[in-house]
Structure 1
Amino acid sequence: MTLLLATVTTHAAEHPGKEYLEKNGYKGPESCETCHPGKAKEFLGTVHWKHASKVTNVENIDPKQEYGMKNRIYTMCNGNDIVNNLKEIPKTADAKSAKFSGCNTCHPGNHLSDVGSTGPEAEAAVDCLVCHSREYDFSQRKPFRDSKGNVVLGQDRSLKAALAIAKPNAKNCMTCHEAAGGGVLVKRGFAFTPETDVHAAKGMVCVDCHKTKNHRIPTGFDPNNWAHDGARLACTDCHTEKPHKDQAYNRHTARIACQTCHVTRTGGAFAKDFTTWEKLPSGYYEPTTLRKEANETVPVYTWYNKTVANRPEFIGPKGSRKDKSSKIYPFKIFQGKAYFNKKTGQLMAMDFAPPMATGDTLAGVASAAKIQGIKNYEPVPGWQTIYFGSNHLVTKSRALSCNNCHAPNGALNFKELGYSDKEIRKLTSPAIYFEKLAEKQKEEW
């Protein structure tokens, strides 16, 4: 009976269409749409294909226009899909091999049909299996030149990959999202593993929280993650506004976000200098980057009402203690150095091809300006500060407790959060929690 049950379970998990694929082979979206008609066209309207959307919660941008990786400029990347479209980098004299680079290397197309493209050719170019196959060979997603000299982004359209269709797992998502911003664990700096996140420990994957409908994936309100599919999510979607047995903790949720206590670490880059590039053993150059290991950085805490301050020198949360829609959230602070236009004060983009080949950063600025049609500019170096939301690596065992915050040297800087000296003396007194922790200590000892 046990063997029979195992057989039934395996059969039930198998995606329909095996016989069809074995007979006809896998031909990309054409094969998928035999059972899922219209899904490729549907996908072309999502952020994962367009790399942009209308944005209404960020100041100093046009709410009628679309923004995202396609056209944004900020100092974690200092470029976008327009100025850093996938291309072959001029080979240096001591380079060991040819190199392709571009901000759109994670775009789920073939580059011939690129970011935001539409029509039958774009629909046929969608890489369904990069998200939906458990046996996808990611080594095939490499750029190359075709017989006509076009730069093409490879795909794994093998029968093996097509026969392994399943709900996207963490690897399907994290292959791109973990490597964004210049390398593995650079931008976000978190490793989603059973040891570091309670959701991973329970066997959950990204789409268990980011529940997708019609290829539209809900996201949170990270101040630096602007583009979205019009769907949002929050911890309280599953855990309610009062998830604790302890009512004192539940009272905190009115002004303190779940992440503040339950996301206590992040990591990755905390500073980059796009004005000075370092030569690597490969013979190519990369921007000088300071980073910490995954899960090593302690967050900073501030008020956030889910609207974003957006200035050339700063991108981060808006909110205050007086604003009742604000809660205290954790963030990673990143600081990037790049070139600003002295004549306008605006941050300038950089085409990475010139500095990647020669280290000449001003040549990269000039190339990007030409692509964008900017003629009147004077590049000067400057710094930009960005707040990244800390929303993953959820912990229960290492969550902040009373004495982690309500102490003179605690995690929260009550002065910066807008509390008076009198309030701070009360908030940092052991009287708030002494009896509770004393009882807990007895139980543990």
Structure 2
Amino acid sequence: MHFSIPDTQELKDDSGSPYTSFNVHINGVFHCSVRYSALHQFHEQLKKEFGGLSMPPFPPKKFLSLTPPKVEERRQMLERFIQIISQDPQISNTDTFNGFFLKAQQETQKEASEASSLDVYLMNGHKITVKIMSTDQTDDVLEAVASQVELPDEFVYYFGLFLVQKEDGGDNSIVRKLQDFESPYISLKYANKVGSHRIVLRKSVWDLAYEDELVDNKISMNLLYVQAVSDIERQWTLGTKEQLRHLATLQQRGSKREYLRLARTMKYYGYIQFKPCETDYPHPHSRVFVAAGHRELNFRIQTDSSTMKEGSFKITRMRCWRITTSMPESDSQIAIGGQPSKTRLELSFEYLMAKDTLKWITIRTDQAILMSMCLQSMVDELIMKKQGKKMKKPQDRSKMDPQTNQQQNNFSSKAVNENSKGKDKTFVENNAFDTIGDDDL
């Protein structure tokens, strides 16, 4: 997860007294605005619950009003504190952590908890309406959707809820995967203030071995089929003319299992395709189409008006990656549900080009954080599989012991946040890089 506190705002409490509030962005999106006192209380709660862990520095209380430089110093310390604890699975997978940011989102948007209906869509536009509380977190909503379509418990977390935006050209663009520290109802409501959005149910596993289990169940197989048809229609998955004709015949016959079996052999099946962007590889300002899947970032580089060159960057050969977020000081406008209006994003990764040869490659795109989250989830899944761990089930959420959380989730990459004036950098160290062998070179 990518946490930042890019700026602050001056507000007044119910008595009219002024105070400074810190604007928290998560995965590139404005999430909440919180007071220092609330964060201090959160810190104290974490110290009680995780007394055996070494906590990062937290800015001390001050009894006098802070000068602007001191406010900036506090902002940077709070940002680093949140960044570090969010990367510790013993903390970030607990109700304490998720509950704090869920409540902060609710209070920031002034949303009361009330019975509501929420529309969740499949990729073919089919609508599933679930009855929820407006402040239910993502896992609650996902489980409600799964229950409504009668998806077996063991397959619920093979899928996820994604926020997608309707583009001017009529296509849907994935904005991000919804996380458990937010309310899908609130996130969707405020995302729609800056564009047309919807929540979509999509497969959230990458390895085709996991799909083998899903294909044997009628409900999960049908969900895979719907997504496969959509991805082929929008040309996210590519096939030959003969393959496409065969798929059309199978679709007319209603042969979903056979359709899916053929679709899984096609190019870019199961990949997420990103909007056209710019890279410095192999040359500065190269136009590139990037896709994430099959444990790689795939590049299709436009070398001239009619020629495309393709390259593959395996996640096991990425030593680390970083996100750079730049925002001009003059731009303090927060676009709720999206990026600040002038934010510039880059994703850079250090890649093992050959033995003992590392090279930084940079992609400039407003989807940099989504790319990073895809890399993170592919790495997590790869390490989870190597460790023989299983996907969680709904009943696992009742396990509150931090040690249990560590045993189930201790496969996240390590992130370090650095901040300089006008810029924020998050470095992610790739634990999968340590498993590389000579066969990978």
Q: TM-score range by the shorter chain?
A: under 0.3
* Superposition TM-score, scaled by structure 2 size: 0.25
* Superposition TM-score, scaled by structure 1 size: 0.24
Q: Which has the larger radius of gyration?
A: 1
More helix by share: 2
More strand by share: 2
